[in-house]
Amino acid sequence: MGKLNTIWNYVRRYKYLFVVLFFVLVVGIVDENSFLNRYYHQREIRELREEIRKYTDRYNHDSEELNRLNTDPEAIVKVARERYYMKRNNEDVYVFVKQTEEDGADGDE
């Protein structure tokens, strides 16, 4: 009974410290709005803002390209020839594909 009494006296003496530590533990780690969750949410917000910036840049680029295609007939011809390999009636189109080592361009075959 003496050990239990000693522990009880220690807890009673430092009860405010235990309450503060318990509060810090609950708020800092266990709670839904803990510091750890706030860190994860901030990181997610940072990633989402970066994604928004990327898509905004892509939208602006595509809008400029669409505007250029709507106003310049030569741009339409250029896109048709480069991207879709279209040709005029009196010409041939050759497509050169650069091979890498992974494709077997080392000549050992």
Q: 88 is written with which tokens?
A: 């005029």
Q: Which CA distances in Å does 82 have to 30, 66, 74, 77?
A: 58, 16, 12, 9
> Measured at the alpha carbon of residue 11, what is the angle toward residues 9 and 17, in degrees to the nearest 5?
135
| Environment class of 57 (CB within 10 Å of its CB; exposed 0-12, middle 13-18, buried 19+) | exposed
Compute the mean pLDDT over every residue in the chain, rounded to the nearest whole number.
87
For range 95-103, the mean pLDDT: 80
Confidence of residue 109 (pLDDT cuts 50, 70, 90): very low
Q: Which tens digits make up the pLDDT trace of 11-29? A: 889 999 999 999 888 888 8
CA atoms of 5 and 40, how far apart (whole Å): 44
Q: What pTM did the predictor assign? A: 0.56
